[in-house]
Structure 1
Amino acid sequence: MPILAGMGKMNKISGFLWLLLLAAPAMAQSDVDAYPLSNAKRILFLGNSITYAGDYITFFESFYITQYPTSKAEVINAGLPSETVSGLSEPNHADGAFPRPCLFSRLNSVLKKTKPDVVFACYGMNDGIYLPFDEARFAAYKTGMERLRSELKAVGVKRVIFLTPPVHDDSEKGLGGYNLVLDQYARWLLEQRETQGWEVIDLHFPMRTYLKERREADPAFRLANDGVHPGEEGHWLMAKTLISYFNPTVNQSPSREAYLSSTPSMGELYGLVSKRQAIMKDAWLTYTGHERPGMKKGLAIKEAKKQYRKIEREIRNLHK
């Protein structure tokens, strides 16, 4: 709200609340002002299987390379399928094969070995355990997110950016099923942005609006065939929202295909980044360690970094 436009209402708002309203946007921008994304050395993504799938991260890294061509920042995908920040799990998760892993069982190792200065974190989808809203589960999620931010700040991460959980696309109940839980989780994160100065990018509600509009025109339309894991279009919506936070002109790209053809080399760049991300995400998970059975064993980190540098040379040759 512009200050002059609000002066006439000041007598209706307590002095404390007025100062809070003015201070919240400034707090939310503090990390941005103190540490521009262009200064990053290592950018870490934490999350569950949606992050591990990583297509939205591939788009982000492709954007980052073109936006900051002189930067040599490494974008690291450390997403782990089934993971939560709440520490909760269904009694019979994965047909009883294993409980959901909790981020905090591996976070210290991940931070020690990746040494990030910027961290994106996307949690919530698994934290409600696919059950109706419950205050105890909600409290566990909030506690986990607060702990995550505190631990990242404690080790010197310059910029912590939370992503609200993607939409849940229920085959029978649509947006009126488990997505109602995610609505609450996303709203809480956005409240932290306004009241505590957290940096939060909202993926959830833009995806919710898009899905609702498409479903009204075509009731069979889906963003996630299993309700949870977005397909290409869903990952593009996530990427578009994420990238446009840093460069609003990306919102002018009407589709994934249009973005990939927006410059002569973008499609090729995306392909190289995708290939590199596929190698590195498994290498980093293996190197940093985790408690989730059934994951692919990655290359030894030394060998993976050789592959990284080889593809890096190909990427740099695109811009000569």
Structure 2
Amino acid sequence: MKNYTFLIIFSFFCSILVAQQKSNSLLHLNRAEKILFLGNSITYDGRYVAMVESVLLSSHFIKGTAIINLGLPSETVSGLSEDNHANGEFARPCLFDRLESVLQKIKPDVVFACYGMNDGIYLPFDSVRFKAYQDGIENLYTEVLKSGVKRIVLITPPVHDDPDIGLRGYNQVLDRYSTWLLEQRNNKNWEVIDLHFPMKKYLESRRRIDPTYKLAPDGIHPEQEGHWLMARSIISYLNPTFPQVIKWDEYVANHTYLPKLYEAVLKKQELMKLALLRYTKHKRPGIPSGLTMEQANQQNKHLEKQISLLIKHD
């Protein structure tokens, strides 16, 4: 009987601890000086990252924390590439060509990483390609923590909507990649945010009303609504009480200064992204050359001041 009572009490305190860990998700984020986002062209686009920072700033959950976007178009963690990628001009860059430099030079406290869209090379499912993706994600996880980063959060890839066959094509590959990634929450106690399946569910619901509806004109790169769905999944993970507002425009309508804040944050992130990509170096042709770090930091001071003033006048 004593053992049974102990188990009940122990289970009760474990449930409290789990609840506290979830509620403290933002608290731990608030302690970070630098938060780094890694990913491919969707992350490089920057809108969902800027939305995340704008909401966290406007909600006063972060203050004095630098959110850095270092997404790189075409990038993979698998190291795979099509023979004719970019019309044969260059192979897809691999994250591990630059990861060590990025971690050493930026020294982030927290890393968010979103990969998978490019890793299946837009071909039907193949176990060898899948293994290359799994190995790449596991290597990323290991290398990030080995560098001294306190926390890594992995993100499932966005939905893929084939221009001809919709979700019945390459997205089935991403379904499997996303499922495996989500399984690691239990198998390895990884932090994983799912934005793939919520985006898929939303797309399916809209498609039932309007068969021509798209989140991304090319099936890959989402427009504003898609970026907001991504941002919302990340924010909801960090703060489960966040309101489930469908559209970005609806959310900003209730926060009069948020459009200006978002504009300033996006401009700041773009400035620092290009400068830091230049500083940390990469192998992807066609990326605009950013300012030197000295020049970028000077301009960044003015943007940070503008952002601070907007938050104070909330």
TM-score, structure 1 as length reference: 0.89
CA distance in 1, matches of 2:52, 2:174: 24
Query: Is 1:223–2:210 an aligned residue pair?
Result: no
Post-superposition Cα deviations, 1:233-258, rounded to whole Å, max 9, x if no partner, equal 11011011111112234333231111
Query: Is 1:161–2:153 an aligned residue pair?
Result: yes
CA distance in 2, matches of 1:267, 1:84: 32
Where does structure 1 lack aligned partners over 5 or more consecutive residues?
8-18
Query: Is 1:274–2:266 an aligned residue pair?
Result: yes
User: Within 5 A, what are the aligned runs for 1:137-156?
Assistant: 137-156=129-148
CA distance in 1, matches of 2:311, 2:118: 40
Name the residue aligned to 1:248: 240
Matched-pair contact (CA < 8 Å) for 2:245–2:251: yes
Matched length? 301
Query: Is 1:64–2:56 an aligned residue pair?
Result: yes
Name the residue aligned to 1:12: none
Residue number among 92, 95, 98 corresponding to 1:100 in the alignment: 92
User: Within 5 A, what are the aligned runs for 1:33-112?
Assistant: 36-68=28-60, 71-112=63-104
CA distance in 2, matches of 1:125, 1:301: 30
Please state whether the residue corresponding to 1:248 is helix, strand or coil.
coil
Give the counterpart letter for 1:172 in structure 2.
Answer: D
Distance 1:124 1:59, change over 3 A: same
Matched-pair contact (CA < 8 Å) for 1:39–1:71: no
CA distance in 2, matches of 1:34, 1:158: 14
Cα RMSD (Å): 2.4
CA distance in 2, matches of 1:254, 1:246: 17
CA distance in 1, matches of 2:46, 2:220: 14
Matched-pair contact (CA < 8 Å) for 1:35–1:158: no
Bigger Cα displacement from structure 2, 156-165 vs 270-279: 270-279
Following superposition, the deviation at residue 124 of structure 1 comes to 0.1
Post-superposition Cα deviations, 1:27-53, rounded to whole Å, max 9, x if no partner, equal xx59x6797111011000000000000
Where does structure 2 lack aligned partners over 5 or more consecutive residues?
none
Following superposition, the deviation at residue 172 of structure 1 comes to 1.2
Give the counterpart letter for 1:66 in structure 2.
Answer: S
CA distance in 2, matches of 1:115, 1:55: 23
Matched-pair contact (CA < 8 Å) for 2:26–2:239: no
Following superposition, the deviation at residue 69 of structure 1 comes to 5.8
Give the counterpart letter for 1:50 in structure 2.
Answer: I
Following superposition, the deviation at residue 68 of structure 1 comes to 3.4
Residue number among 288, 295, 300 corresponding to 1:296 in the alignment: 288
Name the residue aligned to 2:186: 194
Identity of aligned residues (%): 54
Distance 1:96 1:211, change over 3 A: same
User: Within 5 A, what are the aligned runs for 1:15-34?
Assistant: none
Name the residue aligned to 1:309: 301
